Amino acid sequence: MITDLWYKNAIVYCLSVEGFMDSNGDGTGDFRGLMRRLDYLHGLGVTAIWLMPFQVSPGGDDGYDVADYYGIDPRYGTLGDFVEFTHAARQRGMRVLIDLVVNHTSNQHPWFKSARSDPNSPYRDWYVWSKKKPKNAHEGMVFPGVQKTTWTYDKVAKEYYFHRFYDFQPDLNTANPDVQAEILRIMGFWLQLGVSGFRMDAVPFVIAEKGAEVGGTPVEHFNMLRTFREFLQWRRGDAIILAEANILPEDDKKYFGEDGDRMHMMFNFQVNQSLFYALASADMKPLVKALNATRPDYATAQWGLFLRNHDELDLGRLTEKQREEVFAAFGPDKSMQLYDRGIRRRLAPMLKGDRRMMELAYSLMLSLPGTPVLRYGDEIGMGDDLSLPERYCARTPMQWSNEKQGGFSSAEKTYLPVISEGVYGWEQVNVADQRRDPDSFLNWMERMIRTRQETQEIGWGAFEVVDVGHDAVLCLRYEWRNNVAVFLHNFHPEGVTVRFSLVAPEGEPNRLVNLLSEDHAQGDAKGRYELTLEPYGYRWFRMGGLDYAYRRTEL
């Protein structure tokens, strides 16, 4: 069993090597460029870096179509560069997580080339085949509106192959013991090179039964998740898996494990979608419901909390009415929407650059039960380029300065265009300018991240939702090791006065010490408080005397 639960109080920063920093002027980011920016990430307060795919790939799906699990795409550097990077990160106290994309491979992978070329190939059964096109071939597509089928005919193999994603990403037959053994070898290889774990892509599809006869809701083989975890614990005791699994709350325990023996972490899609509904409607009741429905049952289980990631903002778990309300608020134009279920914008343009709402959203994410996961560029309020197809609009290069190509590259042309026009262009939004401005969003984020790391009640403690008598205000109370922290967020565009009661730690005064300003709050003898929150206002408190600005450390 893992004993070092470092991920409980981590700050995870997701980035694409391709899009972060170009060191050699070829227009594409690389590991040497990333190493130049490690001190920036360390200064921001990042404790774990999550890398999007960087292995050899034709690039049809931004690296998620892997053609060699054991190699580095030469555009990004060499295995030696990767090891230097993990070593440099470790020197700064930062861990490295990498994407593990094993639901499918590229159709250019040697395994698939061998499988399609010969029915007797040892790799034939590594993929899923059918002599006839299954009747349900038009169901279960991950990218509706872009995909047309999940079964494609291969002229060389003279059979149909299954692909839950694009047709150039044939699914691996993960039920095959040889495939499972290969997945463990892949994990072991990268652990040996210095990674601390994996963000496992599309977990429900990895463990689902696959085949022409499978219809409706496929059987999921959860014993696979236990096998993955056991392997990690034997190879490196503190390594973790962060699972991408957009599932219903009643299925959470199946992924975390009946005894907390499967996935260490999962992204909380339920809370994410309800959070955006709260921002759009000023109604936090569905968010409260989602928080209560997703309480982990085990000390080792942890949620990954995020606002935006590299995919679309998936709203598929909301009701149709709720989804339309979020669309109307944050993605009203069809060009902003994707796959009939989501919004493809970055956070800042979704919120129209409203600093109050941006602060509210990130304050909320940093104080929700779980571990915050940030997306590169969101700490400076980067925008998007809707002229780019699908999800590429939010995958543009990092904007470092107001120099050529935003300081990302000296090349005349970059892998995707750096945003250069409008209020989100690199001359307006970049790291260098914001570092010099004490009131910038970047410096606000750095202060909030530092305060979040000092407030370990969030990552470790038990939470309760406190009734404040107003549907637009969320109040969360955490308790851990005789420390009590309280967080209030007002989703309403107008100021709100709330009244509530709290129990202080034994022997301490009924006082709320503000962790972000001098605006403390004094309760009466019965622990009753009255507070006024400005439009989109938020407060971070500890209960007790003024010394409670810092966490008590006794065990």
The residues annotated with a catalytic role in the active site are: 201, 244
Q: What's the CA gap between 46 and 221, in Å, rounded?
A: 35
Rg (alpha carbons) of the chain, rounded to whole number: 24
Look at residue 308 and give its three-state secondary structure: coil
Backbone torsion region of residue 275, taken as left when φ is above 0, otherwise alpha when ψ lies between -120 and 50, otherwise beta:
alpha
The string of DSSP codes covering 57-91 is: ---TTTT-S-SEEEEE-TTT--HHHHHHHHHHHHH
Query: Is 95:196 a contact under the CB 8 Å cutoff?
Result: yes
Question: Residue 116 corresponds to which tokens in the numbers above?
Answer: 């399609």
- State which H helix or E strand residue 48 sits in: strand 48-51
Distance, first Cα to last Cα, the chain: 21
Q: What's the CA gap between 466 and 369, in Å, rounded?
A: 14
Give the β-pairing of 496-501 and 528-533. antiparallel
Angle at 320 between CA 276 and CA 330, to 5 degrees: 35
Exposure string of 484-493, with b = 16+ CB inside 10 Å and e = fewer, is: bbbbbbbbbe
Backbone angles phi, psi at 445, to 5 degrees: -65, -40
- Best CA proximity match to 100, nearest among 69, 58, 56: 69
Query: Is 288:250 a contact under the CB 8 Å cutoff?
Result: no
- 411 to each of 22, 392, 406, 422, how far by Cα in Å? 9, 20, 11, 22
Q: What's the CA gap between 248 and 250, in Å, rounded?
A: 6
Q: What's the CA gap between 310 and 15, in Å, rounded?
A: 9
How many residues belong to the chain? 555
- Best CA proximity match to 16, nearest among 46, 55, 43: 55
- Best CA proximity match to 512, nearest among 480, 551, 549: 549
Question: Residue 224 corresponds to which tokens in the numbers above?
Answer: 């696979």
Strand order in the sheet with 342-343: 313-314, 342-343, 337-338
- Best CA proximity match to 345, nearest among 306, 415, 271, 395: 395
Position 449, amino acid: I
